Chains A and B, each alone.
Chain A
Amino acid sequence: MSNPLADMEKPDLIFCIGTNMTECHPVAATRIKRALKRGAQMVVADPRRIPLAEMAELYLPIRVGSDVALLLGMAHVIARERLVDREFIDARTKDGEAFLEHVQQFTPEWAAGITGLPPADIERAALLYGRADKAAIYYTLGITEHICGVDNVQSLCNLALLTGNLGREGTGINPMRGQNNIQGAGDCGAVPANYPGFQPVHDPANGDKFAKLYGREMDGEKGITKVTALNRCGEGIHAMLIDGENTVVSDPDRHHCEHALRALDHLVVIDIFRTETAEFADVVLPATAWGETDGVCTNTERRVQRLRAAVTPPGEAKPDWWIVSQIAQRMSIAGFEFESAKDVFNELCGLSPIYAGLDWDRIEHGEYNWPVPHKDHPGTPVLHEGEFKNGRGLFRVISYRDPAEVVDDEFPVWLTTGRRLQAYHTRTQTGRAAGIDYLLSEESLEIHPDDLADWGIPDGGWASLRSRRGAIKIRARASNMSPRGTVFCSFSFSDVPVNILTGSGYDPVTETAELKVCPVNISPFEE
């Protein structure tokens, strides 16, 4: 997030797009509810009539995968109505003129043809965002899990740059991260393009620095993403170490994923449970869990916080860092003589510029948002104040693209997936928490009541759901959250493996899967 969570109570206009926040980030959503009570207005764009939509001044039920068209249409109106922040554009951005010229062609009528929204609503959304003194954007995977995920994010940046809604309290571009330490995994350098602290691997200076620190030459080329790695299992990738991820259930195209893991010569899985993915492993190593492990995590607002052990781990489970270090030591890799989590974290702080002002003791109370470049620095709750990291904010000239697969006669319905309030990911955790079944005991497919009737499926009956990659059996449920022609389910239940169906395409830059769009065919289930 460019701005802290506390800022969510301060905007005049809140624009939520592709985020089902009351279910996926419920505590953050309470701040939005308080902002609304204080008088803020909210625009919600989402294919499903999610609970946030009910609280919105304006709800935009966009067709799945049409976000870029909506955002171009909004930029067109903001430019036409002269709601652009000239001063901000001139002083702090680049390529604004090219962008303003680009958006002249994208009228609300044009965007309406793609998004399925009334032109007047697109117009109104643009005016609400463009006229607000402080407008803040919040998004989640509904923006990123598309073949145009990067385009979507950059389109949101364009809107914020156009109106000067960055670098100030109550504004910003705010992705809500979905896992407790997914931000931290990136901070720590567990990505193919960056060393710890987002230091690019293609910069020779960083290569030299880490060659010295780690005692060996470093590739100057970035690595491949996990998506590509899974594609190359058996052909280039022959061994894998997977820590705490149930890849088989959470990733798109389950059959492809299982095939990939089988093609490896050697798979080592570190986890707290014997997951579906562990079943493919040659070696499974038991890790200590949350509540048993001392460590550090970073939340969605870049706040670096301590995790503390409260109970003894079961059996012989060990912390992940200990397990990885033991494997490394057996391979004679230098620099793994860590004796505690504190040792590991302090080494990270020593080589990451964004953590340079932190150490294990300084984060005791969690008051720092990175970057914290030196010991006297108070942290950076709001990014981009005064200037952008790279000097100027770049406008990107972006055009709309269709999803990887679009509906046709054979697969006439849009399937989109997500989470539910009471379940988390593949239910390795919530599925083992007493009482959760009382509220959510099985997965079901949310279908508009009229579609359900048209398709001849009884409410609560079994349906067959088919895509180009496979078929699953799922209980059908009438829901007014789903618009006609679009259905929804979560990927949480292993007995309804919806990711057998997904995986139609990937963003060319991030290789994030288009999990939010999958054309399907639905029919009554027959034995």
Chain B
Amino acid sequence: MIAEVKPTATATLTLDGVEVSFTEGETIYEVAERAGREVPTLCYDARLEAFGGCRLCVVEVDGMRAPVASCTTPATAGMVVKTTTDAIEKHRRTLLELVASENRENEVDELRGHASQELKSLLDRYEVRGGRFAGRQSGTSNSTDDNPFILRDYDLCISCYRCVRVCAEQEGDHAITMMNRGFEKQITTEFNGILKDSACTFCGQCVQTCPTGALGDRKAMRAESLPGEVEKTRTVCPYCGVGCSVDLLTKEDRLVGVQPAMDGPANEGALCIKGQFAFDFVQHEDRLKMPLVRDEDGELHETDWETALDRAADGFKKAAGEHGRHAVYGVASGRAPHEAAYTMQKFIRAGFGTHQIDNCSRA
């Protein structure tokens, strides 16, 4: 990333018996992450302020009576930290059992969202199978919000607040909040309505940070039943000039969804409604599939490349021959890649020795 402050690593602490340096302001969790420890979390999103809600990231610190949440505890010089003791691991397993017992299901399709597999991965890691604490459940799925983008399946909500926090901290939209307490807890909008009637801009950030799939990308989920594995391809959003990095989700040559790239240099995980949800123009049935040429009947007809390219070239030769080399003009695209704009200008300059070339930036 740009202009990152270089760590002035002077202070050290002991992490699982190894001396590790850190920068002032770093939390124990951040130090442990950098050192390659896989401390489990459910409420953590590196882009958001630490929350300390899920208690999975607790660690033992010498001299402290009880384990502390590593995500909210600042690293201090000389600290002796143990991230993985038998007691801590037992505590984590019990917490995960509690979480797992509450949910209708713990295995959701990865198309639901970027972080949707986090809970399932931890359950697998700690070999937790739900049920021991089955009973009352919090969160009720919203079946009335029929918006085409965001599934609100709150039966799977674990009250980690990541959606509420990303909406407030990352987007600054404050469209959703938490209502009630205990088993009555429910993520909702103001006046408990549908997202369309709230301050929601459908940027999809809540979906992508949800660790259980309680929030799901409805457009991507249309492809759950398609055969094949989900593959990801890193590229840049095709809309405005911010240049957000995204991962295209494909299944057997079908473009099924988009996820923000958390390490994208321009967006750092953020996206808007267009970048998140407006991808399906690509494989739309209206796409041009064959070259077209206008025939004597005055209509455009499909033809092969040879015919179309010959027609295109002949027309430019004829215009330049009859009216001079300045008679041919090129308009390059602000939407196509460099290679399009470069060859367009080279066609005009190398072909005619003129500068009769422009792009669509003037309108």
A289 touching B287, Cβ below 8 Å? yes
B344 touching A381, Cβ below 8 Å? no
B104 within 8 Å of A by Cβ? no
* In the complex, chain B residues whose CB is within 8 Å of the CB of A283: 291-294, 308, 311-312, 315
Question: A185 to B337, alpha carbons, bound, how many Å?
Answer: 8
* In the complex, chain A residues whose CB is within 8 Å of the CB of B345: 188-191, 195-196
B242 touching A28, Cβ below 8 Å? yes
B219 touching A307, Cβ below 8 Å? no
B228 within 8 Å of A by Cβ? no
Within 8 A of B (CB), among A309-332: 309-312, 314-321, 323-328, 330-331
Secondary structure of the B contact surface, majority rule: mixed
A439 within 8 Å of B by Cβ? yes
- Separation in Å of the B219 CB from the closest CB of chain A? 6
A244 touching B336, Cβ below 8 Å? yes
* In the complex, chain A residues whose CB is within 8 Å of the CB of B323: 236, 238
* In the complex, chain B residues whose CB is within 8 Å of the CB of A347: 342
B316 touching A239, Cβ below 8 Å? yes
Interface 1/0s, chain A 491-527, versus B by CB < 8 A?
0000000000000000000111101000000000000
In the complex, residue of chain A having the shortest beta-carbon distance to the beta carbon of B263: A365
* In the complex, chain A residues whose CB is within 8 Å of the CB of B147: 435, 438
- Separation in Å of the A309 CB from the closest CB of chain B? 7
A79 within 8 Å of B by Cβ? no
| In-complex Cβ contact of A243 among B171, B237, B283, B340 (8 A) | B340
* In the complex, chain A residues whose CB is within 8 Å of the CB of B341: 181, 184-185, 187-190
Question: A29 to B270, alpha carbons, bound, how many Å?
Answer: 11
B244 within 8 Å of A by Cβ? yes
Question: A252 to B300, alpha carbons, bound, how many Å?
Answer: 26
* In the complex, chain A residues whose CB is within 8 Å of the CB of B80: none
Interface 1/0s, chain A 159-195, versus B by CB < 8 A?
0000000000100000011111111111111111101
A367 within 8 Å of B by Cβ? yes
6 nearest CB pairs, A to B: A315-B289, A299-B243, A295-B337, A244-B333, A33-B172, A177-B241
A184 touching B358, Cβ below 8 Å? no
Question: A441 to B188, alpha carbons, bound, how many Å?
Answer: 26
- Choose, from B31-39, B136-144, B195-203, the stretch at the interface: B195-203
A415 within 8 Å of B by Cβ? no
Question: A189 to B235, alpha carbons, bound, how many Å?
Answer: 24
- Separation in Å of the B85 CB from the closest CB of chain A? 38
B318 within 8 Å of A by Cβ? yes
| In-complex Cβ contact of B196 among A33, A242, A439 (8 A) | A439
B245 within 8 Å of A by Cβ? yes
B338 touching A344, Cβ below 8 Å? yes
A27 touching B244, Cβ below 8 Å? yes
Tell me which of B236, B248, B275, B317 has the highest count of chain A C-beta atoms within 10 A of its own C-beta. Answer: B236
- Choose, from A95-103, A127-135, A335-343, the stretch at the interface: A335-343
Tell me which of A27, A221, A266 has the highest count of chain B C-beta atoms within 10 A of its own C-beta. Answer: A27
B46 within 8 Å of A by Cβ? no
Question: A367 to B4, alpha carbons, bound, how many Å?
Answer: 13
- Choose, from B63-71, B92-100, B119-127, B348-356, the stretch at the interface: B348-356
